[in-house]
Amino acid sequence: VTGMSDSLDRDIRWHVYDSAMKCGILPTSRDLAERLGVAIDDVREGLQRLGAARMLVLQRDGEILMAMPFSTVPTPFVVETAEFSAYGNCIWDAMGIAAMTHRDARIVTSCADCGTASEVRVEGGEVFGEGVVHFAIPARDCASRAAR
Amino acid sequence: MSLETTWRLAQAWYSDDRRPAEWRRRTVDEVESVFALLGLTSEFWRLR
């Protein structure tokens, strides 16, 4: 049974990231069940296992909240590429979407300090923009709670 | 942190394709190596 669940979990992860990288969208458990041809309850159990393994972060209802660097829900870090728009969980992750998909990107955000609109562009493997990035949580504390 | 360093961190962290079955999360040692390569060696970036 463990082998079967391992295989399902790998398939789920593949489809989650495939959807994210191609469309910028994290699939629902229903999307995954249809795509994989398995029961939705099996998918939901798989998502729970992937959440427990810190591969994903789940919403309270068991749907995917984050598959790093992508977010299901709107965030202040909008990533626009030629093919899709997506939400990053933070500026690190917003740039991570450009890095993971090897795409140029325009990141639309705002200064967390003063609220001024801010734009960061990734073009040809280089980053352009103004400002500094502030990390609020020490890495040790972040590592103990995040699913990076 | 500068945008340039954040971009290098994003590249180091996220350039891997996470779809293949072989992909796994980094160990603490591997994370520390990534941080060290980017000069992130202050107490803030320590993991243990």
Q: Which residues of A touch B20 (CB under 8 A)?
A: 14
Do A54 and B17 count as a contact with CB atoms less than 8 A apart?
no
Residue range A68-123, pLDDT digits in tens:
999 999 999 999 999 999 999 999 999 999 999 999 999 999 998 899 999 999 99
pLDDT at position A142 is 75
Closest-CA residue in chain B for A137? B44
Q: Report the residue from B2, B6, B31 with minimal CB separation from A95.
A: B6
Task: For residue range A45-59, list pLDDT tens digits in order.
Answer: 999 999 999 999 999
- Rounded CA-CA distance B12/A110 in Å is 24
Q: What distance in Å separates the CA atoms of residue A95 and residue A125, rounded to the nearest whole number?
A: 11
Q: A131 and A118 in contact (C-beta within 8 Å)?
A: yes
Nearest 5°: the CA angle A67, A139, B47 is: 110
Interface TM-score (ipTM) > 0.85: yes
**For the residues A7-20, what does the mean pLDDT come to?**
97
Q: Which residues does residue A122 pair with via DSSP β-bridges, in sequence order? A: A105, A127
Quote the CA–CA distance of A23 and A18 in Å, as a whole number.
8
Supply the DSSP string of B1-48, one letter for each residue: -BHHHHHHHHHHHH-S-S-STT--PPPHHHHHHHHHHTT--SGGG---
Partner-chain residue, chosen from B13, B20, B47, that has the shortest CB–CB distance to A139? B47
pTM of the predicted model as reported, rounded to 2 decimal places: 0.93
Q: Tokens 């280089």, residue?
A: A126
CB-CB: which of B14, B19, B25 is closest to A14? B19
DSSP bridge partners of A71: A66, A87
